[in-house]
Amino acid sequence: MARTYKHMATSVIHEGYDSKNMLGSLTTPLFQTSTYTFNTAEQGERRFAGEEEGYIYSRLGNPTVTVLEERIAALENGERGLAFGSGMAAVSAMLFALTKANDHILCSPGLYGCTFGLLTMMKEKYNISFDFSTMVTEDELHSKIKSETACIYVETPINPTMKLIDLEMVAKVAKEYGIPVVVDNTFASPYLQNPIDLGCDVVVHSATKYIGGHGDVIAGLAVGKKEFLDNVAVTTLKDIGGIISPFDAWLLLRGLKTLPVRVDRHCDNAEEIFKRLKTHPNVATVYYPNDDAHPDYHIMKKQMRRGGGIISFEIKGTKVDAQKFLNELSFLKIAVSLGDAETLIEHPATMTHAVVPDESKQYMGITDQLIRLSVGLEAWQDIWADLEQALNKINVSSDAYSKA
């Protein structure tokens, strides 16, 4: 769906919904229904045969969900959107739809832990192999593509290391082979990055994060070509059944209205926290895309509007020091997830990426010292005060210092 409005701040509020068609209701009504009645048996027959438009059963479609799907399609500049019961339901539906037994998936050099887990399961059950490309140069990417490569799967920024992938470059190489590129756009949100505009084919979101934005819903979204997603809607989504509930779709529509305002504030806060983390004596390295010393800064400038709200950093010390640091926090919450109003902080090696084997963790750069911080919407001064007092309490041994 092409965006109707020139500015995203308008699109997040209005795309896909016309109150005139809904008795003047300002907000999208919540159609909390499992099924829809037919006026006659013949009408039911026509609906099932696809000869008449209309709703049948909420696993096949729901008016509240339709508004959400149209809105996300417009925000990502794709032809069609589809909503799912979780980010992983969206990721798995895309990967199952694009592959068959014995295929190969080429991935960015880092993935969310459960995506890694899903790929491992697909390998064990269906011999669908996967491996990583640094995706730094076209030549390296060419060298990793095999005759059985069915799709390229990219996270950028990568969870949790904040490496960036040049989406335009990946899309260009993939086009030479006719291989679709799927991008997990969760960390950036549609406000900061639009992979379809850069030539990629499918975008997935854990809508649980910035799109929902309030820590009260688990959901996923996918956007891509109409023909592809029409097919997913009547196969993988309908028959595996990982649909979103109408109420969760309604919550996402509410969350989306403030996406630009919230994400700008997340970015403002993250920029302040980043500067301070960088100079703290107990912090070894800070990874934030909007840092001119970040190796992928040029990619950020090219494809992201701002650096986002997530910062990763390595403390000087050991796993025990990393855990002590988290335990010393006073009001910041130790929790996985991200993109919420509350600042959330976690230890990827033992939490979000615990399922990733040590060898792959090492390849991805997930060390025992790495901390992932989702900077919330609180006053940055309070966020920093809490981080600083906890960092000051890390007991750094001389061994750990020499490692850093």
Contact footprint for ligand PLP (CB under 6 A): 86-88, 91, 112, 114, 155, 159, 184, 186-187, 206, 208, 218, 220
Considering the complex, state which of residue 210 and residue 380 has its C-beta at the smaller distance from ligand PLP: 210
DSSP SS3 for 141: helix
Considering the complex, state which of residue 208 and residue 369 has its C-beta at the smaller distance from ligand PLP: 208
Q: Biggest alpha carbon distance in the chain?
A: 80
Closest-by-Cβ residue to ligand PLP is 87
Considering the complex, state which of residue 248 and residue 321 has its C-beta at the smaller distance from ligand PLP: 248
Q: Please tell me the distance from the alpha carbon of residue 176 to that of residue 251, in angstroms, as a whole number.
A: 40
Minimum gap (Å) between residue 204 Cβ and ligand PLP: 7
Q: With helix as H, strand as E and coil as C, how does 265-315 read?
A: HHHHHHHHHHHHHHCCCCEEEEECCCCCCCCCHHHHHHHCCCCCCEEEEEE
Q: Please tell me the distance from the alpha carbon of residue 232 to that of residue 225, in angstroms, as a whole number.
A: 11
Minimum gap (Å) between residue 89 Cβ and ligand PLP: 7
Minimum gap (Å) between residue 363 Cβ and ligand PLP: 17
Considering the complex, state which of residue 157 and residue 246 has its C-beta at the smaller distance from ligand PLP: 157
Minimum gap (Å) between residue 375 Cβ and ligand PLP: 15
Minimum gap (Å) between residue 355 Cβ and ligand PLP: 12
Minimum gap (Å) between residue 160 Cβ and ligand PLP: 8
Considering the complex, state which of residue 159 and residue 269 has its C-beta at the smaller distance from ligand PLP: 159
312 token code pair: 């990763």
State residue 18 phi and psi, 5-degree precision: -130, 110
Minimum gap (Å) between residue 154 Cβ and ligand PLP: 11
Considering the complex, state which of residue 75 and residue 114 has its C-beta at the smaller distance from ligand PLP: 114
Considering the complex, state which of residue 159 and residue 245 has its C-beta at the smaller distance from ligand PLP: 159
- Whether the CA torsion 290, 291, 292, 295 is positive or negative: it is negative
Bridge partners for 333 per DSSP = 344
HSE (CB half, 13 Å, CA atoms) of 376?
22
| Of 128, 20, 178, 130, nearest in space to 356 by CA | 130
